[in-house]
Amino acid sequence: MSRTPAQKKKKNEARQKLASQRRTEKIIREHGSECAFVVKKMVKTTILRVLAQAKARDRARQWKADNSERKRLADTNKYLRDKQAAARANLSYKEYMAQKKETNLAKPRRTAGERIKQRKATDENFLIRTRLRTRLGEFMRLKNSKKAHGTMQLLGCTQAQLLKHLQMQLRTGEILKSMQTDHVFAMELYNPSTEEMQYRVMNFSNLQPLTVHENVSKGKRLPTKAMAAKVARWAWPDGVTEDMLPDIYDGWSTPLRM
């Protein structure tokens, strides 16, 4: 008895499904441990992404709750700007917002990572601030501690003052964004469990620009006397005295730079 086209199609699909299952079973038998590792890593990455998104939502909700008046004023100002723009375009507010939505949807969408990358390439201040925030975050997680305040508050200066402090230490022809921001006294010399220690380790006077090679060469060693002289004395780590510091590192041309 001949089969109908529908029956043939169904049988072919069943055969393909069975073949796919057998291929999967073979791969698991031959590469079981590798597959398990890949799956475990994918699951972990997904969970971390979901948790990060949830934390971001919680922070946004908390910010709105803590800054309700600021949020209300920002929304009011935005509404007034859009209403004025609609009037200039001879459109009703509803028509203008619909047109604005269409325009925004037509624009190529960039991820947050792409926006941050572009801003780092054009905004030196943002680049330095982001590097310091990331480094401090990594250090605090390593020490199982939490930041007492925002990074800029812990630095003890404004963004403009920080930029000026670092630029004053550059050699002729050097560009700050191509340098690394080094902690004169390495972060590992501090215990960040207290608010006072966080202020000390992150104080702007404890920062200096070095090339990648210089930073690797210096590592976690105590700074030279000339380097330490740039750091406010109250920001020095506990137990470190001037007589413990070297005059110059081997292979360096000056006490400050290679």
Q: Say whether pLDDT at 183 is over 80.
A: yes
CA–CA–CA angle 219, 125, 216 (5° rounding): 10
> Model confidence over 82-136: pLDDT tens digits?
999 999 999 999 999 999 888 888 877 777 778 888 888 888 888 898 899 989 9
Residue spans of the domains in the chain: they are: 112-244
112 vs 153, higher pLDDT = 153
Cα–Cα distance, 130 to 152 (Å, whole number): 10
Per-residue confidence (pLDDT) for residue 200, from 0 to 100:
95
Q: Are 235 and 187 in contact (CB under 8 A)?
A: no
56 vs 186, higher pLDDT = 186
> 């459109």: which residue's tokens?
91
